[in-house]
A and B are shown apart, each in its own frame.
Chain A
Amino acid sequence: MPIAMPNLAPVMPEIVMTCLAILLLMADLVIRQKDTLGLISIISAGIVLYLVLGSSGETFAGMFISDGYSMFFKLIFLANLILTVLISSRYLQIMRINFGEYYALMMFATLGMMLMASAADIIVLYLGLELMALSTYVLAGFIRYDMRSNEAAIKYLLLGAFASAILLYGTSMIYGLTGTTNLKGIAAYIMNNNIAGNPVLMLSMVFFAVAFSFKIAAVPFHMWAPDAYEGAPTPITAFMSVGPKAAGFAVLGRIFLTAFASVRADWSMVLIPIAVLTMAIGNIVALSQTNIKRMLAYSSIAHAGYMLLGIISGTPAGLSSVLNYMLIYALMNVGAFAVVIMLRSEGFAGENISDYEGLSKTHPTAAALMLIFMFSLTGIPPMAGFMGKFYLFMSAINAGYTSLVVVAVLFSAISAYFYLRIVMLMYMKEPRESVQLNTSPGLGLALAMTAVAVILIGVLPGKVLALAQMAVASF
């Protein structure tokens, strides 16, 4: 029997991305000037972005799907890639880790995320997950001479492997039960055979929830995050806090709202306590941090908690609010990390929160930008962070989770304290030592883009919101 050629159009962005990433790896051998590689990876991301916008459909016998949902997430991944490359170059020089593999690994990690967003089958999902995870482990340990970076990589690797194993275990159970790994197939089987209360189904569902809770760093599976975020090179921290988290939410949404859609009542019982704990621990522990990267790590844990509300809602509006929030979160978080990177200079980490004292006096522009990002992360209008949270809470209330939203807004009020502390140190304290800022055109561009986007989306969120709503329409 001749094997029919599968339709490659839907998967074209991924194919091109793979080729470009391999090409980049080889170009590393001949190109001395490593910044050029960064430029190439940005151009590649641009090309892939263009292809993403044009691709749609199912292929590989329904294992891979390219729809509005995956498209929106790919937009986030690629934007994250571009922004991270922009904020990297100067940092890599200062840290003397300016190697070409850095860019190739980031492209591979992004490729993995793209596969995850498009996965309509658990096997493809696993493939993408591992590609993303393995690349990110290496990136986290990229500062080879630094113990903390090594520790970050090892911790991330061990716990990540653990999560993968749990995911596989869950997969094997669901395969044993339904005889398929296709998400739609699983959904159909559950519906047709009416096995809603089946203990094996429940158990596999719990395993999926646990595995993805690791990826999105939800409590109590968040232990790796603060150490990994602190030790990893700062641009990679920014990259990790957005990319893998977004990818985790992409599959979480896909699996729970496609495969397990008919047993929503059961899995929401699992996710609700996780969401509450995540918001609580993330926000409360962040209060006592003295290292800004750790603080932002806990903050990113807390934000995952808010976003879980959208998944729990289980409605198209809920899902689109997660998409919307993820995009906004990506912008404001990378922006905040860009400021953190600026403080890094030769022999000066600039990672202590106290290093921000009096920044508004010595570097008013940097301080003003950080102020925008901090207020946005808090969720104060007119910054985009508010609109993200507002839409998220709105969809959760519409789905009937009003008391859950009350919890969320109270924790979000608590979060104001630690974000405001940065503003307070910058504006209300005198500078203790002169902090030197290291900027580069790329960093400046990334900051300008994120800051403008954060304010623009905050004031005129209509377009982005409509896009997010369109993205889940096909779901």
Chain B
Amino acid sequence: MVQTMDNTMGFPILSVLIFLPLAGAALILLMNRANDKAIRVVSLSVSIATFIVSLSLFTGFDKTTHLMQFVERYEWIPSLNMSYYLGLDGISVLFVLLSTLVTILCVLISWESIRTKTKEFFISLLVMEGAMIGVFCSLDFMLFYIFWEAMLIPMYLLIGVWGGPNRVYAAVKFFLYTLVGSVLMLVGIIVLYFYAGRTFDILELMTKAYPYKMQLMLFWAFFAAFAVKVPMFPVHTWLPDAHTEAPTAGSVILAAVLIKMGAYGFLRFSMPLLPDASRAMTPVMLTLSVIAIIYGGIICLAQTDLKRLIAYSSVSHMGFVTLGIFALNTQGVEGGILQMLNHGVVTGALFLSVGVIYDRTHTRVIADYGGVASVMPIYASLFMVFTFASVGLPATNGFIGEFLILLGGFKANQWAGVLAASGIIIGAGYMLWLYQRVFFMETSPKVAGLQDMNMRELLTLLPMVVLVFWIGIYPNVFLSFMHPSVQHLLERVNGGSAPAVAANIATQILR
């Protein structure tokens, strides 16, 4: 059975995407550390170049098939049957684009705020980009695992070296949580390898059937890795610390890309490899998702720290994502994937925005703010766009994603749908209240006389504004990438009997 398509690009585009940032990092390694400016320029150029290359994925992607595209395969460790095997399908392609875009914004937002160890910072950032792209492109399970783990090193440094006052604690906690989860997955990967007849090839692994008991064990082994990353309740506690203490660029990468990998892991590995266990565990996963949505939302109401509030809102939003994914129907899964993208855009943008004002005031305490709208009107209006998107107002991207998820969730389990919907109300509560406390009310002395955003900051946020409305008004551009792949995935999970429900009802209506 053919599961891949030849690379039609004429050059190994995925390898270029992975190694261009790494080459940039190597170049910076050789540069004089005193020359901060040149280091910044190099990292910006490299990240822009990578983004431009990645754009050809957007235009060159064949949306009519679920087959893996842009495939590259080379022998790597023949004696273990490990290969350097890359490819993209409709589930992963958009995340590569998100990663390359977000990296540029991270470089821009760090332009002035990173003053110490600039060289190491940009090396870490670019290595991070290469590893992130690698995670989404890998079709060899071990290759995936290596990129997945390798990400820990730059991320640990990003949080721990350039973060806030409690950064060391946050960095170590992040590292240990993720590592414990990952090593259990490693054991699972090896077990799978031997059972399937010594192969790490994901597509080949998917063609095999595994006994139910084994599927269950593996499901929980993978769960350990992916749930920590998402993060799902109750293993979410590293996230508020890590997001809060990380420097702006670190928070943005964490929020926009890194935590998506957990949900991506469920989609790419847990569900197609372990369909029976995934179906059987749906009630557990739905319950945990609903708890995350409501619990995360309620905690947001009690936060006094700007970044911490947005961090906890991620727990709630990612709860929507896992709810959609484990609804195991077209709307849910497509909504989940779209919401991953949306959350990346919106929460990434919110962290970028917080970074903008933090660079001026150096405080994250909500009570220190007030009346920002009157001193920084442009900033206030952009922040409002992101607030609305986060709340899920129609015409913004948040609406489409949450709507699809609720639709799917309701079909899977009515109670889950109802409870999740209440999470949206809580979400509106804490976001609007946050906006009110920061931007309206009396002008706090700490914000009086602040400069509005400069051109660099505006440029950093504008792409996100465009995406908010683009996805919000014409989502089909993005949804069309995933239809065949999601359909294929659901056939696998639901044992080939997936009722091809008037699949795109929601999108049809929205169109």
Contact = CB atoms under 8 A, between A and B. Distances in A.
A420 B175 contact: yes
B190 A397 contact: yes
A413 interface: yes
A382 interface: yes
20 contacts: A360-B120, A380-B150, A381-B150, A386-B146, A397-B191, A397-B194, A405-B190, A409-B186, A413-B179, A413-B180, A413-B183, A416-B175, A417-B176, A424-B160, A424-B171, A424-B172, A427-B161, A428-B161, A461-B77, A469-B79
Interface residues of B, number: 35
Contact of B176 (A413, A427, A461): A413
A386 B186 CA distance: 11
Interface string A366-391: 00000000010000111000100011
A474 B191 CA distance: 28
B117 interface: yes
Contacts of A364: 33, 120
A104 interface: no
A380 B152 contact: yes
A397 B77 CA distance: 19
Interface in B93-147: 117, 120, 142, 145-146
A406 B79 contact: no
Given A402-B191, A406-B184, A462-B77, 13 more contacts: A361-B117, A380-B149, A386-B149, A409-B186, A413-B176, A416-B175, A417-B176, A420-B172, A420-B175, A424-B172, A427-B120, A428-B168, A465-B77
B353 to A, nearest CB: 27
A410 interface: yes
Contact of A462 (B76, B150, B175, B180): B76
Contacts of A360: 117, 120
Contact of B79 (A393, A402, A465): A465
A123 to B, nearest CB: 36
B234 interface: no
Contact of A410 (B80, B156, B183, B190): B183
Nearest to B163: A428
A394 interface: yes
Contact of A428 (B142, B160, B186): B160
B163 to A, nearest CB: 9
A10 B248 CA distance: 64
A254 B283 CA distance: 52
A398 interface: yes
Chain A at the B interface: SS class = helix
B510 interface: no
B150 A382 contact: yes
Contacts of B183: 409-410, 412-413
B190 A393 contact: yes
A382 B79 contact: no
Interface in B182-234: 183-184, 186-187, 190-191, 193-194
B448 to A, nearest CB: 33
A309 B78 CA distance: 23
A409 to B, nearest CB: 4
Contacts of A390: 142, 186
Shortest 9 CB-CB distances between A and B: which pairs?
A409-B183, A381-B146, A462-B77, A413-B180, A428-B160, A397-B190, A413-B179, A381-B149, A427-B161
Contacts of A402: 187, 191
Interface of B: 33, 76-80, 117, 120, 142, 145-146, 149-150, 152-153, 156-157, 160-161, 167-168, 171-172, 175-176, 179-180, 183-184, 186-187, 190-191, 193-194
B184 A398 contact: no
B153 A417 contact: no
Most central of B150, B172, B186 by chain A CB within 10 Å = B186
A397 B187 CA distance: 8
Nearest to A470: B79
Contacts, number: 85
A462 B193 CA distance: 18
A466 interface: yes
Most central of A394, A465, A466 by chain B CB within 10 Å = A394
B258 to A, nearest CB: 16
B187 A409 contact: yes
A405 B187 contact: yes
B149 A417 contact: no
A417 B179 CA distance: 10
Nearest to B145: A381
Contacts of B80: 391, 394, 465
Nearest to B177: A413
B187 A427 contact: no
A416 B146 contact: no
Contacts of B168: 424, 428
B169 to A, nearest CB: 10
Contacts of B180: 410, 413
Contacts of B78: 462
Interface in A439-461: 460-461
A409 B145 CA distance: 14
Contacts of A391: 80
B141 to A, nearest CB: 12
Contacts of B157: 423, 427
Most central of A381, A466, A469 by chain B CB within 10 Å = A381
Interface in A70-103: none
B33 to A, nearest CB: 7
A394 B150 CA distance: 19
Nearest to A428: B160
Contacts of A406: 184, 187
A466 B79 contact: yes
A460 B79 CA distance: 12
Contact of B160 (A361, A394, A427, A461): A427
B360 to A, nearest CB: 25
B86 to A, nearest CB: 16
Contacts of A405: 187, 190
Contacts of B79: 462, 465-466, 469
B175 to A, nearest CB: 6
